[in-house]
């Protein structure tokens, strides 16, 4: 019997493992559910995503500065921010299978089933009821019963009540494991920024409107991690708190929603796979008055890629009150004292990397076979240029190594390969998204001309070695998705 075709996500997961993007963590010990390590290509991909974010958000701007704050802060931080009291998910257990689920995810699963079957009216009605039930455990439990949702494992509907479960990881500082020594792993990088608002203001000569950006790990004890690296318990965030005069809140909310959406399309994500979705009032986080999600159409449905939130003066005011440190801004020109409002674009680096991967993946039918190609923007591709000697003799490997060193000196990431037929080497690079392959042949030794092969068009061009770097840089900046 023929093997069933793997799902698109299975194909992505298997490519990631085979080519060294992502491995299951602790694999030799049987893994540790939904936790992943990034291999040689994965770590390059993450770096490219972080660099692309940082260069546009911080380096290229005069009104945003960076920060790298500690993961473990004074635990009062999380009491003040509302995370100890409010950062929780609604949980429900099935008594037969003993499986635990996020109640809202169970209902979303039912909505997705309706949509798949074309029953859009039922889907919309259930979505409306879900929105109304968010934040109300009793209503959520009643909705699960009303919608006839059964446990995917046991097939029964003997559910417990819905309860809230706090998502923060707890640990202890020092030798004593007592209530007095509790500390939390940060569930968002944002709070470290608020705690440093005064330090940055006093040391950087910034004044509102200005932003503080940070990339770093965050931790959430997610009940239902899954969809590969989409939702994990340990992940990296890229967040920016943009502090503005209160009257300018709407203007900057509009600005950052557009700027963040454009960042994805400029880096090659297909626009038709993206959408901006404003949150319903019932969906808003405890600190937010308005939030929009940039969503991507994943193989498992539309999902949040990044959120842009109006956080008002909630965090600065709360930390001012709780710490006794004044976190207001004094404008020497207007002589006005005020607590700035905050617009926060917040995305996940791992989720961005997964999105770039999924969006780039194509199987292209050629005359004789199928070519797998990742059409990464050259700025995102883990390897920018592969260098090959046509054959492994007659001085070609040495010349190819020389060219590799030349590109490496210009900080271009390269890969040298002299194994297998040239066509096969091209295909191996297509599969990991390398935009350019440079081949040294017998003539290169006398005329100093190499062949550049383009990943997307598969076209080849002759280029002088002395002009190679400029040629590649120009090709990178002129790139657009075909």
Tokens of 130: 């879900």
User: 296 vs 436, which CB is nearer to ligand GAP?
Assistant: 296
Distance separating alpha carbons of residues 269 and 25, to the nearest angstrom = 28
Among 231, 257, 319, 375, binds ligand GAP (CB under 6 A): 231
Omega into 48 within 30° of 0, i.e. cis? no
Does the footprint of ligand GAP cover residue 310 (CB under 6 A)?
Answer: no
Rounded to 5 degrees, what are φ and ψ at 111?
Answer: -60, -45
213 contacts 58 by C-beta, under 8 angstroms: yes
Write out the binding residues for ligand GAP, residues 183-222 only, by CB under 6 A. 188, 190, 220, 222
Smallest separation, CB 209 to ligand GAP (Å): 19
Write out the binding residues for ligand GAP, residues 126-185 only, by CB under 6 A. none
Smallest separation, CB 352 to ligand GAP (Å): 7
Does the footprint of ligand GAP cover residue 348 (CB under 6 A)?
Answer: yes
Q: Binding segment for ligand GAP among 11-19, 73-81, 227-235, 325-333 (CB under 6 A)?
A: 227-235
Smallest separation, CB 328 to ligand GAP (Å): 22
Which residues, other chains included, contact 50 with Cβ-Cβ below 8 Å and sequence gap of 6+? 215, 236, 238, 349
- Across-strand partners of 416? 387
Burial class (CB in 10 A: 0-12, 13-18, 19+), 194: buried
Does the footprint of ligand GAP cover residue 304 (CB under 6 A)?
Answer: yes
How, if at all, do strands 361-365 and 370-374 pair? antiparallel
Among 83, 351, 428, 455, binds ligand GAP (CB under 6 A): 351
Smallest separation, CB 137 to ligand GAP (Å): 20
Reported residue count of the chain is 482
Smallest separation, CB 230 to ligand GAP (Å): 6
Q: Where are the alpha helices (DSSP H) in 300-348?
A: 314-323
How, if at all, do strands 274-278 and 361-365 pair? unpaired
97 contacts 116 by C-beta, under 8 angstroms: no
Measuring CA to CA, which residue among 437, 432, 467, 474 is closest to residue 452? 437
Write out the binding residues for ligand GAP, residues 380-399 only, by CB under 6 A. none
Tokens of 76: 């009062």
Residue whose beta carbon is closest to ligand GAP? 348
Rounded to 5 degrees, what are φ and ψ at 35?
Answer: -125, 140
Does the footprint of ligand GAP cover residue 350 (CB under 6 A)?
Answer: yes
Smallest separation, CB 256 to ligand GAP (Å): 13
User: 354 vs 438, which CB is nearer to ligand GAP?
Assistant: 354
Angle ∠(279,50,221) on CA atoms, nearest 5: 55
Smallest separation, CB 432 to ligand GAP (Å): 23
Smallest separation, CB 77 to ligand GAP (Å): 13
Among 81, 166, 214, 232, binds ligand GAP (CB under 6 A): 232
Q: Binding segment for ligand GAP among 1-9, 305-313, 371-379, 448-456 (CB under 6 A)?
A: 305-313
Q: Binding segment for ligand GAP among 60-68, 96-104, 301-309, 329-337 (CB under 6 A)?
A: 301-309
Measuring CA to CA, which residue among 94, 45, 24, 54 is closest to residue 383? 45
Which residues, other chains included, contact 410 with Cβ-Cβ below 8 Å and sequence gap of 6+? 469
Write out the binding residues for ligand GAP, residues 55-94 only, by CB under 6 A. none
Could you tell me the CA-to-CA distances from 457 to 284, 361, 433, 454 in Å, in that order?
Answer: 45, 15, 13, 6
User: 70 vs 173, which CB is nearer to ligand GAP?
Assistant: 70
Smallest separation, CB 266 to ligand GAP (Å): 18
Does the footprint of ligand GAP cover residue 268 (CB under 6 A)?
Answer: no
Sign of CA dihedral 373, 379, 383, 387: positive
Kindly write out the interface string for residues 233-252 of this chain, putting x where it contacts ligand GAP by CB under 6 A and - elsewhere. --x-x-x-------------
User: 44 vs 315, which CB is nearer to ligand GAP?
Assistant: 315
Distance separating alpha carbons of residues 135 and 425, to the nearest angstrom = 54
Among 211, 345, 347, 378, binds ligand GAP (CB under 6 A): 347
Q: Binding segment for ligand GAP among 54-62, 82-90, 258-266, 343-351 (CB under 6 A)?
A: 343-351
Give the dihedral of Cα atoms 355, 357, 359, 362; nearest 10 deg: -160
Q: Binding segment for ligand GAP among 258-266, 341-349, 396-404, 426-434 (CB under 6 A)?
A: 341-349
Tokens of 267: 């880096």
Binding site for ligand GAP (CB under 6 A): 188, 190, 220, 222, 231-232, 235, 237, 239, 304-307, 344, 346-348, 350-351
């Amino acid at each position: 019997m023929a093997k069933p075709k793997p799902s698109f996500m299975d194909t992505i997961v298997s490519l990631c493992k085979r080519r060294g993007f992502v491995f299951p963590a602790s694999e030799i010990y049987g893994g540790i559910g939904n936790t992943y390590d990034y291999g040689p290509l994965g770590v390059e991909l993450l770096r490219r995503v972080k660099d692309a974010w940082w260069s546009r958000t911080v380096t290229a701007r005069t009104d945003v500065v960076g920060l790298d704050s500690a993961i473990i802060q004074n635990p009062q931080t999380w009491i003040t921010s509302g995370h100890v009291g409010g950062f929780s998910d609604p949980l429900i257990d099935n008594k037969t299978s003993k499986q635990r689920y996020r109640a809202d995810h169970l209902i979303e699963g039912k909505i997705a089933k309706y949509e798949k079957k074309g029953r859009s009216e039922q889907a919309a009605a259930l979505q409306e009821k879900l929105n109304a039930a968010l934040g109300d455990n009793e209503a959520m439990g009643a909705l699960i019963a009303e919608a006839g949702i059964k446990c995917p494992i046991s097939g029964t509907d003997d559910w417990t009540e819905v309860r809230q479960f706090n998502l923060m990881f707890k640990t202890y500082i020092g030798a004593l494991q007592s209530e007095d020594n509790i500390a939390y792993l940060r569930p968002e990088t944002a709070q470290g920024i608020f705690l440093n608002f005064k330090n940055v203001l006093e040391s950087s000569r910034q004044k509102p409107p200005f932003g503080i950006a940070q990339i770093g790990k965050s931790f959430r004890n997610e009940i239902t991690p899954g969809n590969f690296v989409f939702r994990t318990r340990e992940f990296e965030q890229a967040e920016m708190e943009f502090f503005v005069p209160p009257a300018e809140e709407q203007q900057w909310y509009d600005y950052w929603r557009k700027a963040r959406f454009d960042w994805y399309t400029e880096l090659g994500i297909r626009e038709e796979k993206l959408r901006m979705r404003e949150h319903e009032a019932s969906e808003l986080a405890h600190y937010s008055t308005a939030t929009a999600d940039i969503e991507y159409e994943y193989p498992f449905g539309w999902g949040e890629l990044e959120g842009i939130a109006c956080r008002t003066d909630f965090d600065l005011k709360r930390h001012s009150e709780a710490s006794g440190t004044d976190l207001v801004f004094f404008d020497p020109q207007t002589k006005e004292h005020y607590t700035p409002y905050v617009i926060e674009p917040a995305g996940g680096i791992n989720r961005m990397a997964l999105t770039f991967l999924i969006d780039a993946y194509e199987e292209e039918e050629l005359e004789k076979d199928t070519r797998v190609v990742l059409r990464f923007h050259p700025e995102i591709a883990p390897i920018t240029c592969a260098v090959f000697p046509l054959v492994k003799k007659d001085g070609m490997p040495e010349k190819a190594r020389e060219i590799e060193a030349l590109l490496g000196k210009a900080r271009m990431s390269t890969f040298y390969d002299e194994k297998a037929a040239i066509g096969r080497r091209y295909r191996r690079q297509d599969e990991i998204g390398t935009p350019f392959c440079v081949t040294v042949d017998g003539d290169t030794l006398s005329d100093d001309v190499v062949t550049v092969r383009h990943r997307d068009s598969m076209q080849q061009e002759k280029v002088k070695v002395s002009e190679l770097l400029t040629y590649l840089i120009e090709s990178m900046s002129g790139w657009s998705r075909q």
